[in-house]
Amino acid sequence: MYIRSLGIFNILVATAVMGAVNEPCVGSGGSAGVCVTTATCSASGGVTISGGCPSDASDVKCCSKASCSNGSAGNCRWTSDCAGTVVSNQCPGPSAFKCCSSAATGFGGYPTPSYPTVGTSAGACKQVSVSGAQAVVAAWPGRVRQIYCTRDCACPGTSDHCCGKAVDLMCSDAGGDATESGRQIAEWVMNNRNSLNLKYVIWGQRIWNPSVDSVLTWTSWRSMEDRGSITENHWDHVHVSFN
């Protein structure tokens, strides 16, 4: 996917800058937000903050809505994060950003996931990866729905998954569904980098690598390029690579 002529790459970059529109962000007061144009936000009764969607065009800002138009006690959030019932047509952005009847955070609630099988072949999932995944699940019960480790690629390859030294910790209701749940997991991984033998962690289009980064809150992690989707921008899973 990175083999592109320079001309095509430039076009894709120009397009991609807009691509995180409709993806999550941290809104006013730390609330759940969505990156939309300021016009879209104000039309739906939301409020914007600057700097929440740094890879987007200047008129795209992080939009949140503290109370729904229908007067319910809830607010606008990603449906994967709703502990109650959701109501459509109350919130800015995509259909997955809905009015949630509960003000409570509805993260997780998943049964304990199965773990990848550890193997010794080059492409097999390694013990450090499984041990890391087990540590995360133990620290955040109910928050990881599924775990992926290996990938069909030669080791060494372009991804640590090729050598079974990375895990994708799926933490929304389905692949491709946005959630804000992964932030706490990602920051926990950073804080437990030594015991996990962490190489780097990615969440929400941001990366943290203990060999080059100091310990920071996730909003200050280095931002990554827009890869074009909720999954590719790591809004439905935490990627953890191990040494």
List residues binding Zn ion (CB under 5 A): 168, 239
Cα separation, 158 vs 154, whole angstroms: 9
The phi and psi torsions of 32 (rounded to 5 degrees) equal -65, 135
CB nearer to Zn ion: pick between 168 and 177:
168
Q: Residue number with the shortest CB distance to Zn ion?
A: 239
**Lookup: tokens for 53:** 């969607």
CB nearer to Zn ion: pick between 10 and 158:
158
Which residues are paired to 75 by β-bridges?
100
CB of 235 to Zn ion, least distance (A): 13
CB nearer to Zn ion: pick between 77 and 239:
239
CB of 161 to Zn ion, least distance (A): 6
CB of 182 to Zn ion, least distance (A): 12
Instruction: Looking at the chain, list the stretches that DSSP marks H as alpha helix, in order from N- to C-terminal side.
Output: 6-16, 38-43, 127-139, 182-191, 193-196
CB nearer to Zn ion: pick between 168 and 180:
168
Q: Say what the alpha-carbon torsion angle 229, 231, 235, 239 is, to the nearest 10 degrees.
A: -140
Helix (H, G, I), strand (E, B) or coil at 47: strand
CB nearer to Zn ion: pick between 206 and 239:
239
Adjacency order of strands within the sheet including 206-208: 146-148, 166-170, 237-242, 198-203, 206-208, 222-223
CB of 53 to Zn ion, least distance (A): 23
CB of 2 to Zn ion, least distance (A): 16
